[in-house]
Amino acid sequence: MTRIVAAGPAPASGDQRRLRDVATQIEGVFVAEMFKAMRATVPAEGDARGGAGEEIFTAMMDGRISEAVARGLSRGVADAITRQLGRRA
């Protein structure tokens, strides 16, 4: 009797998953630095600034958003890192 198995990607090994996780973290840092550079271009609005508290909150928010962006991107930096380093592993 012939058994038909659906074609699909092979399950990722533990090393491949760790590589992907680290690549996604690197992409998150990259996106966070882009946010930081973009915010530096926005002029301060006089006395309406929130001071150190606002800066801390903004940095935390940018960190969370950059993590989410890195996880949600397809064909991003993490994919390129995973492909390139995955060949060597």
Matching residue, tokens 């995973």: 82
User: Is residue 9 domain-resident?
Assistant: no
User: Is residue 22 domain-resident?
Assistant: yes
CB 89 within 8 A of CB 31: no
**Torsion sign, CA atoms 81, 83, 87, 89:** positive
User: Tens of pLDDT along 5-35?
Assistant: 444 344 468 888 899 899 999 998 998 899 8
User: Is residue 70 domain-resident?
Assistant: yes
pLDDT in the model for residue 12:
61
Round to whole Å and give the CA distance between 88 and 19.
11
Give the chain's domain count: 1
User: Is residue 67 domain-resident?
Assistant: yes
User: Is residue 1 domain-resident?
Assistant: no
Mean pLDDT of the chain: 79
Global confidence as pTM: 0.67
* Residue 66, C-beta contacts closer than 8 angstroms, at least 6 positions apart: 28, 29, 31, 32, 34, 35
User: Is residue 6 domain-resident?
Assistant: no
> Containing domain of residue 84, as a range?
14-40+51-88
